[in-house]
Structure 1
């Protein structure tokens, strides 16, 4: 007769690893299954290999950053707080630091150290880990979950689905968790790629790749979505836009892009200055340096490369002085400096998406336990559910906290 575990965890990312550790600390017999040759490959790639684990925000503000999903995550965060996460990593030999006062990293900024420490902890707790496992199906018979793989069947009293989403397919993301969840009667909300660069119709700013726009303000120029706005650092690319603000805003843009072929944006490079403020600034500069040309005037506001491209958009000769510019073009220049238009036309899809927006419906999950409302003994955690947050350690904290809560199980 096959061995029956107390818990089988499917998916060895941060959520699945923490669920395994949480259960094992309660003396549960745990099997952790991973389809890739190694555990936590996506975790290893997080933050360019530096691994931003969490951040220093209060729990209430942290939850607010998740929008309407914020209330759901509170129980998981209460069960395993930021301080608990920091203490946990310290206890397994990974001290952390928040050098900028916000983002918390391992002190040596290495995800490899994180991975090694987690592997050692799994081994210490006698969690059985199996990699290179291609699950064909999962069923439940007589209160026992059966996980089928080729000619083997793994059995357990409880099951945690921690398979992640669809992002980074090269690191094992295939959406298997959605298939298993649907089999057990769960609804999957619309899934969209998130946290990635965006392609724009406008390519004229490609020459500005070396210049970062600090605290740019972005908003969607569609009446229905007029309230969608975000602020942060922006970087130009050959194909469009990236940077922290773009990675965060992408989670709002990609679902809209599925409805429309294009998504118009308005971007303030000048921290939200209005037309009057910009015009007054230029007047002051002209009075101080009356012989300067318009490019020199704009360079007091923006990097030279960005200033040149804005002048090109407005068809203004950079050698002219402000008063020499045609009135209509001068008005257009002020408007464009205030809000520069861009048009999002695409992205790289799930291939380069760091996270997935959408997943297992929260309405069918008990937030105090992460247990299914449909199938007893079935639990969810991490990215497989319909929760995603912005850059800055939000998604990893959620994965660890929800994994910890799911691993506690409802005996």
Structure 2
């Protein structure tokens, strides 16, 4: 039985290895547009490869129907994944927050072990090959690239990902293939990405980084609140807290909704506690410029901008700030609102949201409900994980189930 797998990323590699180990007679060809496998794996975790997370479940995912992922996450839970890694010779390092990395601390070691296993199993690799079309003829699949035609395959797995990180030759070709077979596509959007803001001062805060509370507001309604670091940039805001809220922010922006974030620079303090600290700082040097004295409480650049946003004279002395103005400063620090106008785009996104509608895919076999012998796995499906190894884990899990299905007879 001939099988084609489009995409040599996490999902495609897992599917190929799983299928071949279960059925050695399979003739599997792994296609990828890059000159080697696992390019996105190499880029994950800043080259360290945040490969999984011991805390898993549908709560860590988003999409039209996140429950679709439940069976895969149950069948290929972390212990199963750990066993799979051991079969490759890959030892894992589990961090206290649940994130999992290779013990080598290098994504390259992960890719090398996958490549070694692919070669050992005699799985054919067809790199530097951009697939242009897939169609079915007489119950067999025909795959065409820019320069060649490949025939005849009994089954095809589309695991080619989406458009995040196009510099790694990622694309939405898999969605075009799915549509050509009658599948419906949910709109895609960049996820886990920096956000653009509308203000006349954020560029003045470039480089300021602080642990804060961040709330996401959609059409003025608070939808999500979390704590993490925020980094102000020339274009807007980034940092782990922003990457986390960006998933929903980007999604709602794609629906043309009003999106704002509200920053609490002191999430562990209540209003009165912060007011007390502010009074202490300002009373220490009453004749000094307030923008300077505020450096005892805030990052240096933030003090001057805070005064500007609150409408105070930039040269106001610390001792000239009255009780009412102090309350204004406290309110601004705990409810600093920024309008989100866009994202840094797919080039800077870790993953893409949206994709093939999961209602049209079997949740246990990962086979198309529309076309027999056609399968999907990984990012091409409308399942997106949170930051922390969840996206890669869904890729492994969905690839595993697809591999089980590929190994079986027609």
TM-score normalised according to structure 1 size: 0.89
1:366 partner SS: coil
The structural deviation recorded for 1:151 is 3.8
Shift of the 273–101 alpha-carbon distance from structure 1 to 2, 3 Å rule, reads: closer
- Assess if the C-alpha contact under 8 Å between 2:33 and 2:128 holds in 1: yes
**How far apart, in 1, do the equivalents of 2:175 and 2:208 lie?**
41
**How far apart, in 2, do the equivalents of 1:42 and 1:53 lie?**
11
2:154 partner SS: strand
The structural deviation recorded for 1:76 is 0.9
Equivalent of residue 46 in structure 2, options 34, 45, 48: 48
**How far apart, in 2, do the equivalents of 1:304 and 1:208 lie?**
9
Equivalent of residue 134 in structure 1, options 103, 122, 130: 130
**How far apart, in 2, do the equivalents of 1:259 and 1:80 lie?**
33
2:363 pairs with 1:367: yes
**How far apart, in 1, do the equivalents of 2:274 and 2:343 lie?**
33
2:246 partner SS: helix
- Equivalent residue, structure 2, for 1:31: 29
| Range 393-402 or range 30-39, more displaced | 30-39
- Equivalent residue, structure 1, for 2:304: 308
- Equivalent residue, structure 2, for 1:271: 267
| Range 186-195 or range 93-102, more displaced | 93-102
Q: Deviations over 1:155-183 (max 9, x none)?
A: 22111110101111121222110011011
**How far apart, in 1, do the equivalents of 2:398 and 2:325 lie?**
55
The structural deviation recorded for 1:98 is 2.5
Q: Deviations over 1:312-363 (max 9, x none)?
A: 32243476236x2256644432221111121222233222222111000011
Equivalent of residue 245 in structure 2, options 244, 249, 264: 249
1:359 partner SS: strand
Shift of the 13–353 alpha-carbon distance from structure 1 to 2, 3 Å rule, reads: same
- Equivalent residue, structure 2, for 1:185: 182
**How far apart, in 2, do the equivalents of 1:196 and 1:141 lie?**
41
Within 5 A, what are the aligned runs for 1:310-325? Answer: 310-316=306-312, 317=314, 320-321=317-318, 324-325=320-321
The structural deviation recorded for 1:208 is 4.1
The structural deviation recorded for 1:292 is 8.3
- Assess if the C-alpha contact under 8 Å between 2:212 and 2:263 holds in 1: no
- Assess if the C-alpha contact under 8 Å between 2:62 and 2:384 holds in 1: no
**How far apart, in 2, do the equivalents of 1:177 and 1:67 lie?**
20
- Assess if the C-alpha contact under 8 Å between 1:11 and 1:164 holds in 2: yes
2:384 partner SS: coil
The structural deviation recorded for 1:311 is 2.3
Equivalent of residue 114 in structure 1, options 110, 125, 139: 110
Q: Deviations over 1:218-275 (max 9, x none)?
A: 322623x532434322111121111111112222122333344963321111116453
| Range 188-197 or range 278-287, more displaced | 278-287
2:326 pairs with 1:338: no
**How far apart, in 2, do the equivalents of 1:45 and 1:242 lie?**
18
Equivalent of residue 402 in structure 2, options 371, 388, 406: 406
- Assess if the C-alpha contact under 8 Å between 2:218 and 2:252 holds in 1: no
**How far apart, in 2, do the equivalents of 1:243 and 1:84 lie?**
32
2:178 pairs with 1:204: no
1:227 partner SS: strand
Shift of the 160–311 alpha-carbon distance from structure 1 to 2, 3 Å rule, reads: same
| Range 326-335 or range 394-403, more displaced | 326-335
Unaligned runs of 5+ in 1: none
The structural deviation recorded for 1:136 is 2.5
Equivalent of residue 230 in structure 2, options 226, 234, 245: 234
Unaligned runs of 5+ in 2: none
The structural deviation recorded for 1:29 is 2.4
- Assess if the C-alpha contact under 8 Å between 1:9 and 1:160 holds in 2: yes
TM-score normalised according to structure 2 size: 0.89
Within 5 A, what are the aligned runs for 1:71-110? Answer: 71-110=67-106
2:182 partner SS: coil
The structural deviation recorded for 1:207 is 4.7
**How far apart, in 2, do the equivalents of 1:169 and 1:290 lie?**
53
Q: What is the number of residues matched between the two proteins? A: 401
- Equivalent residue, structure 2, for 1:171: 168
| Range 307-316 or range 256-265, more displaced | 256-265
2:227 partner SS: strand
Say what the alpha-carbon RMSD is for the aligned residues.
Answer: 2.5
| Range 377-386 or range 85-94, more displaced | 85-94
